């Protein structure tokens, strides 16, 4: 199960996530409390092993600016978290994660969007993502998406992520506020979250071996 820790702003949190087994580290370049400067993201990225992919999160940014930031920060993927049309995704020479809020009005033709991963998030609140609220995970079944391209976000935490994975069976999960304490990344929560995700399914496999 792929694991993405988003909203990283300091090296300690990034290294903790990497050492715990995170597959993706997310840097937010859109306005908000988790925004980071491209130069600061670049310094953090340099401290990470090549096995950890760096994701840049953008909201309705110009293609030119996204390319500039991606180059500066050394990004591997671009996450489009706004109202970007398909043409924007097609023009970017990077793997694309496209976020979709679980709002019926915003899910039209989701299957046709040109992206490597669909990130299903909670409906928009004050911010585009990172609102710390869950949605009805059963709704994902109605979208008929390829599970190997599905990432689940929205209010996930060490306490509820196992239930979410069992219901949705996505390719991966994405967390930000769920591994924070008082708005700051909590190293203990990061480790617990990743351990919980990475151990998902292992107990069941062992049980199947012994019960065969």
Residues acting as catalytic residues: 6, 121
Contacts of 163 (CB under 8 A, 6+ apart): none
Per-residue DSSP letters for the chain?
-EEEE----SHHHHHHHHHHT-SEEEEE-SSSTTB--HHHHHHHHHTS-TTSEEEEEESS--HHHHHHHHHHHT-SEEEE-S---HHHHHH-SSEEEEEEES-GGG-TTGGGS--SEEEEEPPP-SSSS-------GGGGGGG---GGGEEE-SS--TTTHHHHHHHH--SEEEESGGGEETTEE-HHHHHHHHHHHHTTTHHHHHHHHHH-
Contact 130, 185 (CB under 8 A): no
């Amino acid at each position: 199960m792929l694991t993405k820790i988003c909203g990283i702003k300091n090296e300690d949190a990034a290294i903790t996530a990497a050492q715990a087994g995170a597959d993706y580290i997310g840097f937010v370049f859109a306005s908000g409390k988790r925004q980071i400067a491209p130069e600061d993201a670049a310094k953090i990225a340099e401290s990470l092993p090549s096995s950890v992919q760096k994701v840049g999160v953008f909201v309705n940014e110009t293609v030119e600016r996204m390319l500039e930031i991606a180059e500066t920060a050394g990004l591997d993927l671009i996450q489009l978290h706004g109202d970007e049309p398909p043409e924007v995704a097609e023009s970017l020479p990077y793997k694309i994660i496209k976020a979709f809020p679980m709002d019926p009005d915003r899910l039209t033709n989701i299957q046709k969007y040109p992206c490597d991963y669909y990130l299903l998030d909670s409906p928009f609140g004050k911010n585009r993502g990172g609102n710390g609220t869950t949605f009805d995970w059963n709704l994902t079944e109605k979208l008929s998406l390829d599970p190997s391209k599905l990432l689940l976000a929205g209010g996930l935490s060490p306490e509820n992520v196992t239930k979410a994975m069992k219901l949705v069976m996505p390719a991966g999960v994405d967390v930000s506020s769920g591994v924070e304490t008082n708005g700051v990344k909590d190293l203990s929560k990061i480790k617990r979250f990743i351990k919980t995700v990475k151990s998902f399914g292992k107990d069941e496999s062992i049980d199947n071996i012994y019960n065969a």
